[in-house]
Structure 1
Amino acid sequence: MTAGGSDADRFAGKDLELDKPNPARMYDYVLGGELNYAMDRRLVDEVLAAMPRARDTAVLNRYWLRRAVRYGARQGIRQFLDLGSGMPTVGQVHEIAQQVAPESNVVYVDNERIAVAHSEIALEGNDRAEMIGADAERVDEVLAHPTTKRLLDFDRPVMVLMSALVHYFSPDERDAGSMIARYRDALAPGSYLALSSFTDEQQDEEMFRAVELSKDTSEPIHLRSRDDVHELMAGFEIVEPGIVFTPEWHPDSPEDVGETPELSGVLAVVGYTS
């Protein structure tokens, strides 16, 4: 598979950025994973001290991603492109999609060396799911990758996933909207985009303290409003209930929403191409 072959070899010499905590490794630690370093754990512990609900925020975003994938699979989607997928964890996209439809194909994309290397273990024996080592912003590289071309047919609908990705794009330095538009233009009618982002809407000081701490990582967080997220979804028809906090998006039960869904701190949306 790709993760154990050319991509893993190409990423073997990639700078691990050991001078700074890495968001992908930090997220792995928050979710209970083991693919992280002491510096990542230290900063997560600082974030949790400043924002005790941060672990719940990460878990709620993961739950939303699973519901979005399940929704796509139930709409007939059998192809998934997970950008900035991060570390292999239990309940990954291929597991959820293939529970609904075993014939589903999944391509994971990440530029974190550990995620690429360990994907071989997580995806062992599954010839319908592979990780490629690439930067999601290099759209042409992702779409032209041999693994992408082998597993995904862009003449048929694809669900693109950008879970907790765009809030790492500084509005002054990186154009998330243009990146999304390029993926959108490659999609067949009936395709979907599922996107989530940290937000400054209805947030308290805990969120802003956590964002301040993120400046010490290799990829600081940039909060986005509903209007910002809506702008990123240009060209997509937004699925009900629209742009909402993660617990509010197609909850499995009303009780899952809770009384304060805004404390999840993350907006989520799914849209489709017509």
Structure 2
Amino acid sequence: MTPTEAPLTALLLAHAPPERHDALRALPAMESLLEAHLARGREEWPAVTLAPGDFVRHLARHLPTEGRLEDALQQLRGADLYLACACAAGEPQALELFERHILQKVAARLGQLPRSAVDEVLQVARQRLLLGVAGSTPKIAEFSGRGSLSGWVRIVASRIAGELLSGDGRQQRLSEPPQALERMLSGDNPERNLLQAHSRQVVTESLQAALAELSERERALLRLHHVLGLTMDRIATMYGEPRSSVARHVVQARERLLKLTHRELATRLKLDGQELQSLLGLVRSQLDLSLHRLMDSPASS
């Protein structure tokens, strides 16, 4: 930091593209402008904890590569950027506020979609925006503040709705070749002899059929906990619900999936009661991996 560079300005220059440094240094009252944006964020979202450095680094990454920087910085939606930055960092209060003030209001503007379809759109939006896909950075980190956060999220949600309504996403979400579950069930398990090739395929098909009967919310909860590995506390924060309620619903969804799988197996396989219970016990013991195989596909992200 040079003697003329105040703290926030120095941070901005440290993380801004080098080719924009001269233009940034030429702007009048840069420190005051950055302080004003930070103050708007804190005023709008007082419960959110976000370090000034994190906010400025986020802003620096999204500076326009061309055009007038002064106009871009003056028109910045500082409060929206503040919330998006905190959500990208996983700040619990920010996630709860995003759910309540942004995502739920966006849901009301998705047109005449059935409630189940809206729930599915919201679930996919939560994953893309707040969790990322296949280890990638959460998409909300891409928000630049040049426009409203609610409008930006509405565009994301509308695109997701289009994908789901096309049928491709919904079909592939519950689709996985029988060989995937067959490989999972053919490990060093003493009960594996129960699972001949035909039986393994029937188990796969039974799980797929059972998943299809679950509600969108049940599938979402199972995916968040069993596939993505989120804690009950994190899921509760995302949904803005008590931890005990979320934990109860996850357990209920898991047990319902097993019950439906049991019914499907009993219908499809000619096994006596003991063999069927043994087979179901194997499915239960491998449920986390089964869910990962059946639900964690690129189309479901």
TM bin (shorter chain): under 0.3
Asked which structure has the greater CA Rg, the reply is 2
Q: Would you tell me which structure has more strand in proportion to its own residues?
A: 1
User: Which protein has greater RCO, CA pairs closer than 8 Å, 6+ apart?
Assistant: 1
TM-score by length of 1: 0.24
TM-score by length of 2: 0.23
Q: Would you tell me which structure has more helix in proportion to its own residues?
A: 2
